[in-house]
Amino acid sequence: MPTLFDAVTFGDLALANRIIMAPLTRNRSPHAVPNDLNVVYYEQRATAGLIVSEGTPITHQGQGYADVPGLYLPEALEGWKKVTDAVHSRGGKIVAQLWHVGRISHVSLQPNGQAPVAPSAITAKSKTYILHEDGSGAFAETSAPRALELDELPGIVADFAKAARAAVDAGFDGVEIHAANGYLLDQFMKDGANQRTDAYGGSIENRVRLTLEVVDSVAKAIGAGKTGIRLSPTTPANDVTDSDPQAVFNMVVEHLASRNLAFIHVIEGATGGPRDYQYEGTSFDYAAFKAAYVNAGGKGAWMLNNGYSAETAKEAVESGKADLVSFGKPFIANPDLVRRIKDGAAWNDINPQTLYGGGAEGYTDYPALAAAE
């Protein structure tokens, strides 16, 4: 029977344990460039079986929040190289989360103040994080997007592949394609945001097309064994909905099964909310979702996320429900979360006031057990 603490290999990723650090936006990389504070933060958490980096925009157009690190500037890649070297020096593994936010952005964050892009020109009822002229940060309503032209989509696919190659060159062990939480690829897959009438809209097959093209392009660029993907079938995050998520996401994973990816990272329910969340009047069967992947021949790790405790994570792995379990906010407050779970030690409480922006406070100053005893 597998346990959370067993070493495991999926694809090209050999992990020391099955406790994964989920991607966590912290807004502490001014000018989209990782810095020395980011190096300390990730190094502190290197005992995770795998770190999935914070969302990392593939292009300036893909940027939707202030002070998040990108993968499209030479100086950003140099900064990431320091991060990956530090994680590897501690024996850890880290993948970059490839991010294009689509409509979840603001004109102040876009090249030349242009409108954000989306599958359709539908403004999200959501907020993003921007900087004022005095340098202070604040949340603001997302800007109205424009619909992407058909001839722009191959460029976006190519941008994902280019960013994947850049990530591996910067020392990442692989990448996670961000196709969740109401960002660009999720927007294309869900009919609440996608009202296109061309080859990328309408039918489910059409709506999942862009995601699969991105997967194929990234896998070709760096290898399927270094590639994972994050999906969130039912989250309402960033005002995204779908009329039949079971049909959409069962089809997605049936297609992904033949791609031989390293892992499928699933956010159950509402991101940061209840795991049993359902769209109004709609149900979702996560067991059937996984079965669709396995029955289609999928062999990548099945990673689950959203509000797991030490006990529920242990149960998920031991029962075979999950191969890996990722933790988000617990890793913010507990850099040594793996040890705390193994020893049954108490977890530090998180300070919600220091989640986004700022400096070391609430970022690198949470005590590990050795310092707290």
User: Buried (b) or exposed (e) across 104-132, using 16+ Cβ within 10 A?
Assistant: bbbeebbeeeebbbbbbebebebebbbbe
Q: Report, in angstroms and rounded to the nearest whole number, the Rg of the chain calculated over CA atoms.
A: 19
Which residue is catalytic, options 42, 183, 279, 363?
Answer: 183
Backbone angles phi, psi at 218, to 5 degrees: -65, -45
Q: Residue 257: helix, strand or coil by DSSP? A: helix
Instruction: Tell me 173's DSSP state.
Output: S
Distance CA 268, CA 235 (A): 8
Contact 26/56 with Cβ under 8 angstroms? no
Q: Is 60 left (phi over 0), alpha (psi -120 to 50) or beta?
A: alpha
* Residue type at position 288: A
Q: Output the CA–CA distances (angstroms, integers) from residue 184 to 61, 87, 110, 145, 260, in the order listed.
A: 11, 29, 15, 11, 23
49: Cβ contacts below 8 Å, ≥ 6 apart: 8, 15, 16, 17, 18, 19, 20, 93, 324, 338
Annotation marks residue 183 as catalytic: yes
Q: Give me 275's structure tokens.
A: 């795991």
CB 111 within 8 A of CB 60: yes
Other C-beta atoms within 10 Å of 360: how many? 12
Q: Catalytic residues, which ones?
A: 183
